[in-house]
Amino acid sequence: MKLALIADIGGTHVRFALWRDGRPQALRVLATGDYPGPEEAIRAYLAALELPLAALETACLACAGPVHGDRFSLTNNHWRFGRLALTHALGLRQLLVINDFAAMALGMTRLAEHERLTIRPGQAAVGSPRLVLGPGTGLGVSALLPDGPGNWRVLPGEGGHVDLPLGNSREVALWQLLQRDLGHVSAESVLCGSGLLRLYRVSCRLDGQQPRLDSAAAVSAAALAGEAGAMAVLEQFCCWLGRVAGNHALTLGARGGVYLAGGILPHFAAFLRDSGFSRCFVDKGVMSGYLQDIPVWLAVAEQPGLLGAGLALDAWAKRQPA
C-alpha cells in the first residue's frame, strides 16, 4: 500500500503524520536539532512506525521559511535541502514543499466552532480575505483569499519580518533598546517564544530591575500568577501583537476575520482576550473604524498545520496529469 506523508516543520520541532482518509494519522513529533535534515528525520519517523521507505509515494513538507525554487533554508533552524534531491533520495513520485503558514491557513478553513475561541467579537464580511498569523519559534503570517463559494486560495508571505510598529513613548524606549541589541527590529524580534523573553529582559533594563526569569514559559507563568512585572511584559506582548495584526489586516483588507494560531497563545488565551490586544488592533487613527467590526479568533485545534499540509497535497494531486 502506497503512503502519503505530511510534515509541519518549524524552528524547533517537526510534526510528521500519514495522510489517510482526509485526516492526519500516526502523528509523531521530533526535535529538528536531533537530525541533520529532513531526509534523516523522515527515515526515523518511518522506522518508528516499522514502515519501509519504499511504501512512501508522495509527501508534502510545510516549512517555516520562504518557499521558491529548488533549494530551501529553514529560517529558524539549520535544515537545508533541495526538493529534487530529496525526492530522489526518498524514492518519491511527488514531493510538494509549501510555506508552513500557508499550511496553517488551509487548516483554518476546516476549524469547527469548538476549535476556535473568540478574542475579539465582530461580523465577518462574506467574500473578504482572512488573515492568519501567530507566534511560535518565529512569527508566521499568511492570508486566505476567497476563490468561489466555500473555496479559498492561500497567499503566503514573510509578514513576520515587517518592522515592529510603535504606538507610544514606552514602546519607543523599548524599541531603542532592542535596536541597540539587534539592529533591525522586526515584529518577530518580540512576537515569538524567544522574543517574549527578549521583551522581558529589555523591559527590566528600561525599568532598572534585575531580570530573574530565564524563559518565555517562566514569564507567561509569572504573569498568569499575578506577578506585576511579568504581567506588564505579557500585556505589552499582546499589545504589539494587536498592532501587527491590525497593520496586516489593513494591508490585506481582511474584513473576513483574523485567525491567531501557533503554540504560544493558547497558554494565555484569557489574558490575551482581556488585554490591550483589541484596543491596539483598531488603533489606526482615521482608519480605526475600518477595523472595528473585524472578528479575531484564536485557533485551539490539534495540529491545524498538518491538516493544511494534507489539504494542500490533495489539491495539488488533483492538478497533476494522470
Q: Where are the chain's structural domains?
A: 3-99+303-319, 112-300
Which residue, among 1, 88, 9, has the nearest Cα to 52 in the 3D structure? 1
The Cβ-side half-sphere exposure at 91, using a 13 Å CA radius, reads 8
Query: Is there a binding annotation on residue 98?
Result: no
- 66 grid coordinates: 520562504
Query: Is there a binding annotation on residue 10?
Result: yes
For the chain, which residues score pLDDT lower than 70?
1, 75-76, 320-322
CATH fold of 112-300: Hexokinase; domain 1 (3.40.367)
Residues 6+ apart with CB under 8 A from 183: none
Which residue, among 100, 115, 133, has the nearest Cα to 300 in the 3D structure? 115
Query: Is there a binding annotation on residue 134?
Result: no
Place of cell 472595528: 292
Q: pTM for the complete prediction?
A: 0.90
Give the pLDDT score at 67: 77
Query: Is there a binding annotation on residue 75?
Result: no
The CATH class of the 3-99+303-319 domain is: alpha beta
β 23-31/13-20 pair status? antiparallel
Which residue, among 93, 82, 101, 81, has the nearest Cα to 36 in the 3D structure? 81
Which residue, among 156, 161, 221, has the nearest Cα to 187 in the 3D structure? 161
Query: Is there a binding annotation on residue 11?
Result: yes
